[in-house]
Amino acid sequence: MFAKTNSGAKCLADYGRIKEGAIVPETNELYEDVQAWLNEGNEWAPLPAPTLEQVNFERITEIDTRLTQIDLESVRPLRAISNASQTSDDIAKLSALDSEAADLRAERLSLTAN
């Protein structure tokens, strides 16, 4: 049984060479198995709703990505401060980034506590 995804199909139960949970892009050679399944008269199943663990994992990944971006965005104002050439904009930028990072770390902690 398969559900249609944006880029191919998700296997909902073992079928031939494809194991349950596998995502099969249309460009993958295994997609011919999905097509064979459809040709047998089967129809797409609804894509199951994500579990809480999957939702939390995706959000944690988004948070980690943003925290990395914040680190990169902090370099320029920190360099200005270390060179004693900072402006009020540098201080404000760094303060805003620190505040956002603290909020994201707290959210991430709450997601990992579940």
Give 29-60 pLDDT, tens digit per residue.
Answer: 999 999 999 999 999 999 989 999 999 999 99
What whole-number distance in Å separates Cα of residue 14 and Cα of residue 6?
A: 20
Model confidence pLDDT, tens digit, residues 62-91 = 999 999 999 999 999 999 999 999 999 999
Confidence (pLDDT) at 35: 96
Label residue 92 by pLDDT band (50, 70, 90): very high
Given a contact cutoff of 8 angstroms between Cβ atoms, the answer to whether 31 and 8 are in contact is yes
Q: Quick one: average pLDDT of 2-8? A: 94
Supply the pLDDT for residue 113. 83
Residue 114 has pLDDT above 70, yes or no: no
In this structure, what token pair is assigned to residue 27? 């460009």
Q: 74 to each of 24, 78, 101, how far by Cα in Å?
A: 39, 6, 11
Edge-to-edge, what's the strand order for the sheet holding 8-11? 2-4, 8-11, 23-25
Whole-number Å distance between alpha carbons of 19 and 55: 22
Mean per-residue pLDDT, 7-25: 95
Whole-number average pLDDT of the chain? 95
Amino acid at site 50: P
Specify the pLDDT at position 63. Answer: 98
Which residues 6+ apart lie within 8 Å of 89 measured at CB? 77
Q: What element of type H or E holds 106? A: helix 88-112
